Amino acid sequence: MSGLTFFSKVPALKKWIPLFLVLLFFSLWFPWNNRDSGSVHSSTQLAMGTLVTVSTWGTGDVDEGKKVARIFERIRQVEAIASRQDANSPVYRINHSPQTKHVAPPEALVTIIEKGLEIRQQSQGAFDPGLASLLDLWGFTHGVPEKGALPEQNDLSAWLEKRNQFPEYGIHLNKDPNGTVTLHLDGDVFALDLGAIAKGYALDQAMATMKQSGIQDGLIIGGGDMIIAGSKGGKPWRIGIQHPRDRDKVMAQVEVMGDMALATSGDYERFFMVNGERQHHILDSKTGKPSRSGLISVSIQANEAMVADALSTAVFVLGMEKGKALIEQLDGVEGMLVQENGERWKSPQFKGQWLDEQKND
């Protein structure tokens, strides 16, 4: 199609973009055997469709490599449950038999869906874990479409018409008095895509595995999601957040000591251009199209990566004013928002500063 341009920020992956481009600590790539005075030790692998980096701080542990391997193993266990492309995953089976009541889905999947439905309600539908069929219409099944094009308007209208046939949301998770969990989807228009929440859950589980192994200081990054614990030898971890319109520029710096999760969503993650208009993957279920809320970057700070992950999407769809209101009503949640027109906002307890403000201090 004329006017079509594709964007991807990881050439090796071609379709996925890590949002946190800069980790502002200097010994990131110290070798594993450099143990004398304490340093950052890092390992990066491909998981959940993006690059995942596990970084730890310490003075030496002969079993550290094995511990990190177990962390990556836990991430892949979550991926095997939540992937909608893997024919062996529960999500794939549920999506391909939507009229069936699925009894006793895996506990991890129940946890993810429960939290997703909770955040959907809190955000009045701005976060929606049931958009797989709409993402497929736009070609975002596996990242950025190889031949991006606008969906046919008839197809979008048909999708919206199907959705509107159900006055109540069509993903039902019920527990009977005996504790048995039943999951049911209403028709093929409701299909699970947990990409905006499952990665956060995977990082939560990975951090729990890290701490159980005895590692108390570290961070784990997966695409635009991050979870942090402890410190870097008594000093804060320093993280840069990418400028949404300049891939080589950092717009804000976050300093963290202690436990915290951070997630960023932006219209520069996965998108293609058609005749000068950005067609990105953060879809609004009310219109069936990419969100046009005015926001271009949303960073959410929370206690859990799963919550930060989902809320960054929800706030992006809600827009500046409604997004601010949601952040302010939720305990333990902070945010940093940027609009296309240059307007920006951060909540008082967000652990970060705009870099231009730092320079002017």
Measured CA to CA, the distance from residue 280 to residue 267 in angstroms comes to: 6
CA angle 236/239/242 to nearest 5° reads 165
Collapsed DSSP state (helix, strand, coil) of residue 219: strand
The confidence score (pLDDT) of residue 7 equals: 35
The confidence score (pLDDT) of residue 201 equals: 99
The confidence score (pLDDT) of residue 184 equals: 92
- Cβ 254 vs Cβ 239: under 8 Å: yes
Measured CA to CA, the distance from residue 199 to residue 201 in angstroms comes to: 5
The confidence score (pLDDT) of residue 38 equals: 65
> Looking at the whole model, is its pTM more than 0.85?
yes
The confidence score (pLDDT) of residue 187 equals: 84
Q: Where are the domains of the chain?
A: 82-185
The confidence score (pLDDT) of residue 219 equals: 96
For the chain, which ranges sit under pLDDT 70?
A: 1-38, 59-60, 143-144, 146-147, 358-361
- Cβ 298 vs Cβ 312: under 8 Å: yes
CATH topology of domain 82-185: T-fold (1.10.3980)
